[in-house]
Structure 1
Amino acid sequence: MELTSIAIDDEPHALSDIGDLLSLTPGVNLRATFNNVNDAITHLQEYGPVDIVFCDISMPVTDGIEGAKMLKVYCDHLVYSTAHRNYGEEAFHEGASGYLVKPIIHERLIEQIEQLKEIQEKSRREEYSEKKFAFVRGKTKHSFIRVFYQDIVYFEALLNHIKIITTENTEITYVGLKQLERDLMRHPDFIRIGKSHMISINYLKKVEGYMAFMTNGECLSIGEKYRHAFTEILRKGMLSGS
């Protein structure tokens, strides 16, 4: 599972530093950076929420503490990154999920991301424990298809449509790629393995090198960008001592 994020800081070098660190941190994607809270909120309103907002505290106009209530509407976790240690009590009073002191130590950032991933995975398992199926748009304007999560083997994104391969057949949907990807990525059973493929871990038979063999006999390539996160998922399911 990869978490999405944005970063807010009025100091350009601080934004550059956290951007560099996040690019080296597995399991998180930095969607955009901003030098003030208001521009960040405008972006979140237009493009949708993220999992994590990394935010400086001491900033002109609207500081990180003042902006907390607005930011938390559009994220699951607000993590402060600041050069000051004395804002901790205020930060956690506003519901912060983390507090990183500048200069940010990469190992501490990795620990923070891993903690938040565990929280997100638990939350999503609970969220989908009751949700058995979804409706996706069919081939015509007013048609919809019911797809059970437990039946999806994988899906493949093509130029203008998506193929959903199930245990029984193949469904075609013209729903937006980003929307379907976002919905499936929130489900704990699905993992992205390439630019065009997301698979259900329940139907993964074996992995050899960078190829994923599915129980329906198909073999899918694991893209270089997704190999680390995919390997981490496999390790969690390995027997102790493996």
Structure 2
Amino acid sequence: MQPTAPLTCLVVDDNEMNRLLLEHLIELTPQLELRASFANGVDCLNFFTQGGQVDVLFLDIEMPQLTGLELVRILPEPPPDIVLVTSHRDYAVDAFDLHVTDYVVKPVELPRFLQAVQRVVQRRQAAPVQPRPSLAAAAAESEFIFVKVNKKLLQVRLDDILYVEALSDYCVLVLDKQKLIVYSSLRRLEERLPVPRFVRVHRSYIINMRRIESVEDHMVRFAQVEVPVGKSYQEAFQRQLREF
């Protein structure tokens, strides 16, 4: 009989001592393998939106910028098994409405931690986890993405995006009525946007095929704005136009 592979996990807590304690408890648990540890929910969300995957998420609730409950609501589907670890009992009802696997009150002791791990194991044995869909597929199903703007996560409808332009280490999302400067590389945004709906037409541009008004002389027009089609992208773009 082959030994069971350990469950991969993340720790997210803005308190360093709490993070170190959870990391130590994971080290004491042969069923678990720590992949990463984060001090805030934003970094954890970036881990998942950039393609990261784990089996279990040990998550604090009260954190700046993005609370644990807010993070659970916007994780890509299907999420990992979530064990909330908090100093407060008041969030229990909200937590289980979100179908978390367990709710552990601090200070966390090893017997209670192991009980939470066992609940994760039993849940996964009862209902095997389906493969996580690609980020582009998840975006296509949800019809929106979350992007980081001025230290906040904003929900943006895919249909509202005309095109995306690279700007140094940032990107500009050009929408119908506004422009958003997003803390992300163009490559990372490209991985999150569904194809063939969104297509790279230039090293600095991704366009929304549904919002094209006209194409002429290797330029794509959106309302009063034109986006160039790079020479190396022209053949693939023409093929996308025929097949879209």
Q: Could you state the TM-score of these two structures normalised by the residue count of structure 2?
A: 0.48
**Which of the two has higher C-alpha Rg?**
2
Q: Could you state the TM-score of these two structures normalised by the residue count of structure 1?
A: 0.49
